[in-house]
Amino acid sequence: MQHITKAVFPVAGLGTRFLPATKAQPKEMLPVVDKPLIQYAIEEAYDAGIREMIFITGRTKRPIEDHFDMAYELETELQAAGKLELLKVVQSIKPEDMECVFIRQPKMLGLGHAVLCAQQLINGDPFAVLLADDLMVGEKPIMKQMVEQFAEWRASIIAVQEVPPEHTKRYGIVGGTHVRDRLVDVAKIVEKPAPEEAPSNLGVAGRYILTPGVLDEIRMQPKGVGGEIQLTDGIAGMLRREKVFAYCYEGKRYDCGSKEGFLQASVELALAHPQLGPGFRDYLKNLEL
């Protein structure tokens, strides 16, 4: 059986929604509690059995490469000082069996174009796409849930959630027929439609498993919403030839590309943190709001 071994992380975006914090640092390096956003996405992919991480980067994104590289001086210092717990934390960022590859996206032409930059490395295999802005939390990691769906259906799987009708313009929206609980056979997918044009209220979250055919479809797409080459349009093209399923994942998504979502993630993950949680809960209770 063909497993999903590769994941694409488009991280070239400018992060303008988060200025001024993102003026000189990548938005993917903003920490929620004690880990940068990108590390949550990488860990989710790793927990799903994925070992080849393909980053689509751009200018100003060097800190992401450094984060997943060996930090020789830091590790030597920690070792010499006997701070072995911290050393373990630093070394666990990139487990031995994980491979990181970095590809530059020379021009920011859209999410579809970013994914296309990985075509040579994808090399005809099905692959995952994770958008680090979307911090996903589930008892079972969301990508793991999706890999299980892929193993069963052998077709592209897109993560979706119900969104308020007035928010359809923020998402790719799918329409189709329910084949069973949590699973929709997709007939239509539209990028950021107005509420009256949305085929349903199921919005795409930033997790995909895609068959390689999507890459040729993206290549054929004209510019879409916002003048960008859209991943959604490539998936829409693929619908003519292949089955695509939308999967209503079990868990929660935080839109960490927005300040509100980022704050919610910070508070809720701090509350759930094994060491920080209890004290932080007391602190919040005593806050005079």
List residues near ligand G1P by CB under 6 A. Answer: 111, 131, 134, 171-172, 191, 203-206, 230-232
Cβ-based nearer residue to ligand G1P, 9 or 94: 9
Cβ-based nearer residue to ligand G1P, 131 or 155: 131
Q: How far is the CB of 233 from ligand G1P (least distance, A)?
A: 9
Torsion of CA 184, 143, 208, 21, to 10 degrees: 130
CA 174 – CA 125 distance, rounded (Å): 24
Q: How far is the CB of 191 from ligand G1P (least distance, A)?
A: 5
Cβ-based nearer residue to ligand G1P, 122 or 173: 173
Q: How far is the CB of 198 from ligand G1P (least distance, A)?
A: 12
Q: How far is the CB of 188 from ligand G1P (least distance, A)?
A: 13
CA 199 – CA 96 distance, rounded (Å): 44
Q: How far is the CB of 197 from ligand G1P (least distance, A)?
A: 14
Cβ-based nearer residue to ligand G1P, 64 or 231: 231
Q: Are 11 and 60 in contact (CB under 8 A)?
A: no
- Count the helix, strand and coil residues of the chain and give each as a percent rounded to the nearest 5: 40, 25, 35
Cβ-based nearer residue to ligand G1P, 13 or 141: 13
Cβ-based nearer residue to ligand G1P, 172 or 176: 172
**Spatial CB neighbours of 248, under 8 Å, sequence gap ≥ 6:** 160, 161, 162, 182, 183, 184, 202
119-to-65, 190, 211, 215, 244 alpha-carbon distances in Å:
20, 23, 12, 7, 20
Cβ-based nearer residue to ligand G1P, 78 or 184: 184
Q: How far is the CB of 30 from ligand G1P (least distance, A)?
A: 16
**Spatial CB neighbours of 71, under 8 Å, sequence gap ≥ 6:** 90
**Spatial CB neighbours of 249, under 8 Å, sequence gap ≥ 6:** 136, 138, 142, 145, 146, 159, 160, 161, 182, 205, 207
Q: How far is the CB of 1 from ligand G1P (least distance, A)?
A: 29
